[in-house]
Amino acid sequence: MTTESSSGAPGGPQGPLQGLLGGPQGDFKGGPPPSGAPEGAPGRPPEGPPGGPPGEAPAAEAATQGAPQGPPEEPSQGPPQEASSQGPPTQGGPPEGAPGGPPSPGGPPEGPPEGPPTVEDEMEHSAEQERRMRSLFAADAAALAADPAAAAAAAAAAAEVVAAGASEEAARAAAAAAAAAAAAAAAKGHVCEFRLFRINKEIYYVSNLEERLPLLGAKTINQLCKTIVVENTKHAGESGPEDRLNSRYYLVVLQSKDKLNGERVKDLIKAENAKVGRQLGNKRLNFNFCSSFEGLTGFKRNGVGPLGSKKEIPVILSKPLLSLFPLSLFLGGGAPDLKLQINLLDLIRITNPIIGVVC
């Protein structure tokens, strides 16, 4: 396969590439093509009448991310959010439905309530997320080409991070090889290795982790990852990428087989702040799953990933991923039917993550 470039040295927790749209396609260099993974539009959901009683807006999609560990379904995140129902009648007129008076002009529009997303809605969302992701990598490619020396240095720095954190000899050897490859790339410039592709979600999400391997072209379940949006519910404000050590929200990347532990996330953030002489106590830290992640990131359930979020959010990377071999991992690509395969070194280079134990 071919490779395609992405961004230069990280410019913040997730770089300045987060909100871009449109861009060229990239393939993962040297990775096996996904077998049994038909590409195409997302599957059609069951048809039927819209839910909810008349005059009441339907419940919003149950978009939560939970903390599953290797179930057929991807993590969900919090309870469904009820959409607001009809507002009060316009002042000065009789209530809607009252005998002897016309409907108030300030009331809700007449007609049946909206139903669940249609196939066309899902396809449009998936296409938009694909454009966003491809544009992100196109901007990254341009940045790499503009300053090859800085790009190679950033790739080598990412390789050093992996080598320092790897817990197994085999992983250290792989990281050393990656560092050598990054150094060799300095002469011709670094190229980001990634592959953005579609899966058949009707098959994928009822399959266990082992069964998903041929659908993705992965070699081991250790390469299969999930991203969970967490919120510090005791945070005083909205700080994010400008203060990556004390953000209200984080995108936590961990292996699909693992379960996220909010207390471990809290301990990690406390420790990282202590390194810079700042004390954050328990009264200011409480990490839970973010129930409003869809509006925050633009991702739907099963599509959450560390790249392409609407809001720039710092990334936390689970430390066991540093011992990953092969060095490529599979993540949500922004929509339920989109998956991203990316080299671990490039993910570290682009997102500049906080790395630690979160499980």
More confident residue, 153 or 7: 153
Question: Strands 354-356 and 225-232, how do they pair?
Answer: unpaired
What is the residue type of 179?
A
d(CA 205, CA 47): 19
Give the number of C-alpha atoms closer than 13 A to the C-alpha of residue 154, restricted to the C-beta side: 27
Radius of gyration, CA atoms only, the chain = 22
Residue 49 scores a pLDDT above 60: no
Of the candidates 200, 188, 227, the one whose C-alpha atom is nearest the C-alpha of residue 334 is 227
pTM, entire model: 0.68
Q: How confident is the model over 225-272, as pLDDT tens digits?
A: 999 999 999 998 766 667 899 999 999 999 999 999 999 999 999 999
What are the extents of the domains in the chain?
15-38+119-356
The first and second tokens of residue 337, run together, are 């039917």
Could you tell me the pLDDT band of residue 161, with boundaries at 50, 70 and 90? confident
pLDDT in tens, 69-96: 344 444 445 433 433 334 444 444 444 4
Average pLDDT over residues 317-337: 94
Rounded to an integer, the average pLDDT of 109-137 is 82
User: Cβ distance 134 to 195 under 8 Å?
Assistant: no
Most confident of 15-19, 90-94, 185-189, 193-197: 193-197
Q: What is the pLDDT of residue 326?
A: 86
- The string of DSSP codes covering 322-342 is GG-SSSEEEEE-SSTTEEEEE
| Backbone phi and psi for residue 195, each to the nearest 5 degrees, phi listed first | -145, 120
Residue 168's pLDDT is: 66
How many alpha carbons fall within 13 Å on the CB side of residue 99? 0
User: In the numeric block, which tokens belong to residue 262?
Assistant: 């909010």
What local confidence, expressed as pLDDT, does residue 338 receive?
97
Interatomic CA distance for residues 154 and 191, integer angstroms? 12
pLDDT score recorded for residue 184: 60
Distance in angstroms (rounded) separating the CA atoms of residues 303 and 317: 18
Helix (H) / strand (E) containing 286: none
What does CATH list as the number for 15-38+119-356? 3.90.960.10
Distances (CA, A) of 230 to 19, 247, 251, 265: 20, 10, 7, 9
* Structure tokens belonging to residue 239: 């700080």
> CA 194, CA 190: separation in Å to the nearest integer?
13
Q: Alpha helix locations (H) across the chain?
A: 119-146, 148-165, 169-184, 201-204, 209-216, 262-275, 293-297, 344-351
Averaging pLDDT over each range in 9-18, 137-146, 250-259, 290-299, which range is the top one? 250-259
Residue 162, pLDDT score: 84
**Is the pLDDT score of 21 beyond 70?**
no
